Amino acid sequence: MERKFRLKSITMRQTSFLAPVFLSVILIILSGSGPVSAQGCGLCDLAGRIDRAELVRTVRELSGSDSVVVDGSGTLISTRSTLLPEKLIARDYLLDRIAGLGYSAVRQPFSLSVYYPDLLAAEISVTGETLWTGTDEGEVFLMTEGDGWNSTTLISNVDARIYDLSLDSHGTLWAACKTIGSGHGELHYSNDGGATWQAKVIGNTTNNVMALSSIVFSSPDAAVVSGSYGTVFRMQYVVGEWYLSHVDPADLLYRQLQGSAASGPMHIWIVSSGGRIFESEDLGANWTGTTLVPSNLWDIAFAGPDRGIAVGEGVIYYTADGGDTWNMTAIGADLFTVTMLDTLTAVAAGTSGDVWATEDGGASWSAVAYDCTRDANIRETVLSPPDTVWAVGMNKPLRLEFGGAVVSCRQWELADTIWGENLIFTQEGQSLPEEKVVVCAHYDSRNWQNPYCAPGADDNASGCAGVLEIARIFAGATFEKSVEYILFDGEETGIIGSRYYVAQRDTDIVFDAVLNLDMIGRDYGGGVAVDIAGRAEPLDSALAALIIEMSEFLQLDLDCSYLYTSSPTSDHKAFWEIEGVPAILMIENEYHNNPNYHACTDVADNMDFDYVTDIVKTAAGSAAQLAGLIQTDPLPSSVVLHQNFPNPLFNHTRIRFELPSRLQVDLTLFDLTGRVVLVMIKDSLEGGRHEYAWDGRGSTGEAVASGIYFLRLRAGSTDRMRKVVIVR
């Protein structure tokens, strides 16, 4: 059970309970601002401008309940999952919203994660101008001589672990695969250079075989595919189609089959676990086997009908008589792959990037010295005639040229960086701009079960809506100190974004306080309680006391508690690394009992927006107090109708206008013929800044059709007009 310390009885007037240091910290935080009550209705008026309808709209749009317009197109934000590219739609939506509030956002990019593909397979084109590589996650990468081998392009994904790639004489690229998450095998083929793939149906299904590890073509019209538990398929090309036939796995003793090679049009060799080598002279219809060594053999290669080499754990076997006899050479390395350049020259490679070469058919070997520093295993080698060998393993393709006295090399490193972006916008203080009050929330979401369905209404569209709404009502006010609004990315993967922000901060800036809003959607204890989470130390305690006092001062229906042990992990914790900065989290009570947490059901309809509104009002009043509210925005000097935002609109837009005094207002939308589409407002309104949120529906309740419309604001005797464009 988390320990909670109630602070409702502690107010700025009840100081006898407080230790002297605690009181001094509170006074430091409030220096220049005075006690809450001293600013009277200024704070009350400002916090009272928090608009419940705006909070609802933002949460619904940001969590996919309602559509949004991004880059001129209508769409739904179904996920903001941290590592998915779909999150960028949410980012662009937020940037549009920030701009619509009159702020200029700073986009702070940072690395969320770096993915290093594990290359297991490779194939080279007949001309030697194209290299394909395959990974344990099914990615297919392409490198070409045309650009000097200077780039690696991810061209496709077969959604299976690729153990071997092989190009047939008809131009089809084949992939021998293992189904990710199971022991089944899959055979895929591509007729467009690896850009798209199809699964080759084996029998009645694509998955009635065990994992496939190797493909060898013995002639233009014949091949053998092999894999786990003695799995072997014969492939024959007849009238433009490849046909497969299954071989009884008992013929290969249900062994784990590894590399394969051909020494003739029908002559196939396969090595296996347990050091066994299998031979077939009729394209796999019949097999014989010999155990060469008790340890594993990993690969085999032939050059012509007589010369062959098999490699494995610390041993190499070679034959000069077509496999009638095999001779062993011990070697101090585990070798996974071997490629023969001609009948006498071969290259073998394996652990730690070791490369070995022979020029006498395998009787003697020497380590190849090359200039490329490498410690990554090499899983496969392929020959680009006459003397270039490509080696792949881990995330490092390696090109070795054996044509001269010195082996030349070139190595690449594949890495896919997923970037995050913090969105930062600031309202500069009037007298102490170098001091900042931070109001923040994270905008990424999470659902490990299905990351493509991570609406994150409560976690944390609710916090984002709060930050945007506070920024909206603060826009016309002036403060002594700066208010910095931050929408963090990467919270769900370990508060990466906020930690990066703190690490990159300007050390000349003073952070007076940090208010973090995360999961403020509903009290899952059944009441209206909210936790103020921080550390058991004076600065956080003082900040929590101020927030609780603000809630009472604004007479809001909240029951605030200070949670100072086992504080939930969120972005406020990143600021704890800065000495002397109070940083707290406002979070719903019983958040750990939220049944929609990190789930597809975390949608707006499950939230209590009266509760959300009161929390945001509390945060707004507290931030204004901390920043030193000087005055709210004065009355405008004339009638102003701003352009609606967004425009063009899809479903929703906001219409802002200003009145210099109380006036009779008529806000009406007309079509091009002058017909009234909707009377939005017909009422007497006080002077000030007003905003109308329109859902795109006309007077009949139906969605208004795409087209051009005119919006007229009649205030007293003054008319103002704006053009509105609807795109469905």
pLDDT tens-place string over residues 379-391: 999 999 999 999 9
- Residue 17: predicted pLDDT: 28
Contacts of 291 (CB under 8 A, 6+ apart): 274, 275, 276, 277
The model's confidence at residue 350, banded by pLDDT at 50, 70 and 90, is very high
Characterize the bridge pairing of strands 268-272 and 257-262.
antiparallel
For residues 188 and 193, give the distance between their C-alpha atoms in angstroms, rounded to a whole number: 13
Residues of the chain with CATH 2.130.10.10: 117-249, 292-414
Q: Residue 73 CB: number of other CB atoms within 10 A?
A: 12
Residue of 45, 13, 60, 42 lying closest to 603 (CA atoms): 60
CATH of span 640-726: 2.60.40.4070
The model's confidence at residue 201, banded by pLDDT at 50, 70 and 90, is confident
Contact 582, 540 (CB under 8 A): yes
* DSSP state, residue 460: I
Residue 24 has pLDDT above 50, yes or no: no
**Percent of the chain scoring above 90 in pLDDT:** 72
pTM, entire model: 0.64
Residue 271 has pLDDT above 70, yes or no: yes
- Residue 205: predicted pLDDT: 43
- Residue 114: predicted pLDDT: 82
The letter for the amino acid at 398 is L
For residues 389 and 624, give the distance between their C-alpha atoms in angstroms, rounded to a whole number: 67
Q: Cα–Cα distances in Å, from 374 out to 411, 413, 535?
A: 9, 11, 47
Residues of the chain with CATH 3.40.630.10: 20-110+419-631
3-state helix, strand, coil in the chain (%, to 5): 20, 40, 40
For residues 411 and 558, give the distance between their C-alpha atoms in angstroms, rounded to a whole number: 62
Residue 622 has pLDDT above 90, yes or no: yes
Mean pLDDT, residues 580-603 taken together: 94
- Residue 208: predicted pLDDT: 63
E strand map for 575-717: 583-588, 629-631, 640-641, 653-659, 663-670, 676-685, 688-694, 707-715
Mean pLDDT, residues 146-151 taken together: 88
Q: Residue 405 CB: number of other CB atoms within 10 A?
A: 4
* DSSP state, residue 706: S
Task: Summarize pLDDT for 172-190 with one digit per residue, the tens.
Answer: 999 999 998 888 999 999 9
- Residue 728: predicted pLDDT: 83
CATH of span 20-110+419-631: 3.40.630.10
What tokens does 283 get?
Answer: 């394209």
Residue 20 has pLDDT above 70, yes or no: no
For residues 308 and 315, give the distance between their C-alpha atoms in angstroms, rounded to a whole number: 14
For residues 376 and 103, give the distance between their C-alpha atoms in angstroms, rounded to a whole number: 48
Which residues sit opposite 121 in a β-bridge? Answer: 134
- Residue 7: predicted pLDDT: 33
Mean pLDDT, residues 448-477 taken together: 94
Q: Which CATH class is domain 292-414?
A: mainly beta
Q: Residue 198 CB: number of other CB atoms within 10 A?
A: 12
- Residue 2: predicted pLDDT: 29
The model's confidence at residue 44, banded by pLDDT at 50, 70 and 90, is confident
Residues of the chain with CATH 2.60.40.4070: 640-726
Angle among Cα 538, 541, 542 to the nearest 5 degrees reads 85
Contacts of 579 (CB under 8 A, 6+ apart): none
Which single residue is written with the structure tokens 């973090």? 516
End-to-end CA distance of the chain: 51
Task: Summarize pLDDT for 394-434 with one digit per residue, the tens.
Answer: 988 999 998 766 788 888 888 878 899 999 999 999 999 99
Mean pLDDT (the chain) is: 89
The model's confidence at residue 19, banded by pLDDT at 50, 70 and 90, is very low
Residue 33 has pLDDT above 80, yes or no: no
Which segment of 44-58, 171-185, 344-358, 631-645 scores lowest on mean pLDDT? 631-645
Q: What's the topology of domain 117-249?
A: Methylamine Dehydrogenase; Chain H (2.130.10)
Residue 619 has pLDDT above 90, yes or no: yes
- Residue 35: predicted pLDDT: 39
